[in-house]
């Protein structure tokens, strides 16, 4: 007799979020493929300049904000229900999911109709349709509903289980949601009280004030992506290898540091903004280096876990455990470990970005594109892709078709991202610009630039190398989406009950790390210290609002 699913509503939300995330990955990935060829000298021009910038906006919004957010929603709902064995607040979940989907569709309409060519950072005074900013506000409200549902479930579980520690995967989900809820209110202020009035009434906006509150959100967004990936490294990866994480305590310490240090770091995106005192920029530099500490802890913990698993499989000697691991055999293991390697490489370029003086050399260059793709495209997206090989069968009750082809997905993605990352990091060091439609920008036809120390003539081979990498990982992404969509609708039945999974090690007695309210309070104090000083400087000096500007050159409004 079949046991009724007690998580029917939650699973429905998770399925919608998961499928919608794959649609966004397809849409954003398609425009990324078109861009990387169209902007590269000597490659096919598949876009006009107008379509390039519209597609660049959609690529950024769909992938950097929405694909990751919807996948994280599905993952969070699955982890909370299966690990805590507790129902979530259905109305909050459904309302949040509906708002997030509706807001995303409204935003896509605004971008594709050419009314929001403002890139994913939508810096003022760039003007866009009110529809775009209303869509952003609706998405934010939807995510807050979902966040409230997650926190309410954890709070209720703690009341039912006094003295028990929060299980590790749930701890990672809590950290993720807490970072999101701490980071997004200033963005909501900037959108509702600055960008939307600009769009509706041509109200001028102080650019520096707006950028301060955008980057309050913008860099923690990185950790909103990363912490779920780290949660998977600490929980799913050991399960795949038949072992436990090397140190659960170190894992929780890393999550705690991500929580208290990942938000007050945004000024390292404003090193070239002249209106912020250098002392405050140095403060955010120090905090940015602090948030590198949990990444180093994670690197040690994950490698130690891999070594333990390798030695369990008979690996001998100093490095024998590495070859004893199931490289090329298990697509989940292979995908997650490739993702960790890519993120490790990106970590080094991230330290360069965070350096107050060295950052000047790479700011707004292709270096940033290379770093960004190795982090969100490599470390995070590849982890989510590999996890899909487990999550899709468990949620949809259908196994993957053509399973022998699965191993090709992480392999193509890893090789392509690596080549793309090398090409764009080097092109950035040669000062190739970040967002510009390079092929038609005129740089490459100006002998004064080609034959001088501007290094323009050296960009081409590195941009072409990046394009080759982009095509390779696009092939991996296309194969992943093809196999996933076919499996969801036509895959063979898969009967394993997700409720029977043990995602994390068995919970023990609660420790300091389980004082979640205290940790959030510490995070708030550091945020207030780090942001009150530059905010006071900007507001006491007085705002200098600038009139809006339509990117197409047409008159605002």
Comparing CA positions, the residue from 209, 16, 213 lying closest to residue 98 is 16
Token pair 């109709």 is at which residue? 113
CA separation, residue 425 to residues 336, 345, 370, 374, 463 (Å): 23, 11, 5, 10, 10
- 454 carries an active-site annotation: no
User: Among residues 33, 343, 372, 437, which one is catalytic?
Assistant: 372
User: Among residues 435, 454, 485, 494, which one is catalytic?
Assistant: 435
User: Among residues 59, 389, 434, 473, which one is catalytic?
Assistant: 434
Contacts of 546 (CB under 8 A, 6+ apart): 124, 125, 204, 205, 206, 207
User: Among residues 71, 373, 384, 400, which one is catalytic?
Assistant: 373
Strand partners, 365: 433
* CA 74 to chain CA centroid, nearest Å: 15
Specify whether the CB–CB gap between 128 and 122 falls below 8 A: yes
Rg of the Cα atoms in the chain: 23
Q: Which helix (H) or strand (E) holds 267?
A: none
DSSP per-residue string spanning 337-395: HHHHHHHHHHHHHHHHHH-TTTHHHHTTBHHHHHHHIIIIIIIIHHHHHHHHHHHHHHH
**Angstrom distance (rounded) from CA 127 to CA 71:** 30
- 224 carries an active-site annotation: no
User: Among residues 211, 219, 269, 425, which one is catalytic?
Assistant: 219
**Angstrom distance (rounded) from CA 127 to CA 130:** 9
- 495 carries an active-site annotation: no
- 284 carries an active-site annotation: no
- 515 carries an active-site annotation: no
User: Among residues 239, 269, 371, 425, which one is catalytic?
Assistant: 371
CA separation, residue 461 to residues 199, 250, 325, 424 (Å): 41, 43, 36, 10
**Angstrom distance (rounded) from CA 548 to CA 546:** 7
Burial 305-343 (b: 16+ CB within 10 A, else e): bbbbbbeebebeeeeebeebbbeeebbbbbbbbbbbbbb
**Angstrom distance (rounded) from CA 347 to CA 299:** 11
Q: Which helix (H) or strand (E) holds 296?
A: helix 278-312
- 371 carries an active-site annotation: yes
Q: What does the DSSP 8-state code read for residue 194?
A: I
Cβ–Cβ contacts within 10 Å for residue 465, how many? 18
| Length of the chain measured in residues | 557
User: Among residues 223, 224, 255, 396, which one is catalytic?
Assistant: 223
40-48: long-range contacts (C-beta < 8 A, 24 or more apart)? 40/438, 40/439, 40/463, 40/464, 40/466, 40/467, 41/438, 41/439, 41/444, 41/459, 41/460, 41/463, 41/464, 42/460, 42/464, 43/439, 43/464, 43/467, 45/439
Specify whether the CB–CB gap between 149 and 89 falls below 8 A: yes
**Angstrom distance (rounded) from CA 371 to CA 49:** 24
- 59 carries an active-site annotation: no
Query: Which positions are catalytic?
Result: 219, 223, 371-373, 434-435
């Amino acid at each position: 007799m079949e046991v009724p699913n007690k998580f029917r509503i939650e699973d429905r939300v998770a399925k919608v979020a998961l499928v919608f995330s794959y649609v966004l990955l397809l849409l954003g990935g398609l425009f990324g493929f078109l861009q990387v060829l169209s902007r590269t000298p000597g490659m096919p021009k598949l876009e006009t300049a107008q379509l390039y910038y519209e597609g660049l906006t959609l690529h950024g919004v769909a992938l950097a904000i929405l694909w990751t957010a919807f996948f994280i929603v599905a993952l969070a709902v699955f982890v909370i229900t299966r690990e805590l064995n507790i129902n979530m607040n259905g109305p909050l979940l459904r309302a949040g999911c509906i708002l997030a989907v509706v807001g995303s569709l409204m935003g896509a309409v605004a971008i594709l109709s050419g009314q929001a060519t403002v890139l994913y950072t939508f810096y003022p005074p760039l003007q866009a349709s009110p529809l775009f900013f209303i869509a952003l506000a609706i998405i934010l409200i939807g995510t807050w509903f979902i966040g409230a549902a997650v926190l309410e479930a954890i709070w209720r579980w703690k009341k039912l289980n006094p003295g028990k520690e929060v299980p590790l995967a749930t701890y990672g989900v809590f950290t993720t949601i807490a970072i999101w809820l701490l980071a997004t209110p200033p963005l909501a202020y900037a959108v509702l009280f600055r960008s939307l009035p600009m769009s509706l009434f041509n109200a001028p906006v102080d650019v520096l004030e707006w950028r301060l509150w955008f980057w309050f959100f913008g860099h923690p967004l990185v950790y909103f992506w990363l912490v779920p990936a780290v949660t998977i490294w600490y929980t799913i990866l050991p399960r795949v290898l038949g072992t436990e994480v090397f140190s659960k305590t170190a894992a929780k310490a890393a999550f705690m540091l991500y929580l208290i240090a990942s938000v007050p770091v945004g000024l390292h995106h404003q090193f070239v903004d002249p209106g912020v005192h250098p002392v405050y920029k140095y403060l955010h530099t120090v905090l940015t280096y602090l948030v590198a500490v949990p990444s180093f802890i994670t690197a040690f913990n994950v490698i130690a876990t891999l070594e333990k698993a390798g030695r369990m499989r008979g690996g001998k000697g100093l490095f024998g455990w590495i070859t004893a691991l199931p490289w090329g055999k298990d697509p989940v293991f292979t995908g997650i470990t490739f993702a960790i390697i890519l993120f490790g490489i990106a970590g080094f370029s991230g330290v360069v970005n965070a350096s107050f003086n060295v950052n000047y050399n790479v700011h707004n260059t292709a270096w940033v594109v290379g770093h960004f793709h190795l982090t969100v495209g490599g470390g995070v997206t590849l982890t989510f892709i590999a996890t899909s090989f487990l999550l899709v069968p468990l949620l949809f009750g259908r196994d993957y078709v053509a399973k022998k082809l699965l191993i090709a997905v992480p392999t193509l993605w890893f090789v392509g991202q690596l080549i793309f990352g090398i090409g764009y990091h080097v092109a950035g060091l040669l000062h190739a610009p970040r967002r510009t439609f390079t092929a038609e920008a005129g740089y490459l036809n100006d002998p004064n630039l080609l034959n001088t120390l501007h290094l323009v003539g050296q960009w081409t081979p590195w941009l072409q190398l990046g394009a080759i990498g982009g095509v390779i990982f696009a092939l991996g992404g296309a194969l992943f989406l093809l196999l996933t969509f076919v499996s969801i609708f036509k895959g063979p039945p898969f009967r394993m009950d997700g409720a029977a999974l043990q995602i994390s090690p068995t919970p023990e007695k609660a420790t300091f790390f389980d004082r979640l309210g205290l940790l959030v309070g510490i995070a708030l104090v550091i945020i207030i210290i780090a942001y009150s000083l530059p905010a006071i400087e900007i507001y006491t000096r007085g705002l200098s609002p600038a009139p809006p500007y339509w990117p197409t050159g047409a008159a605002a409004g």
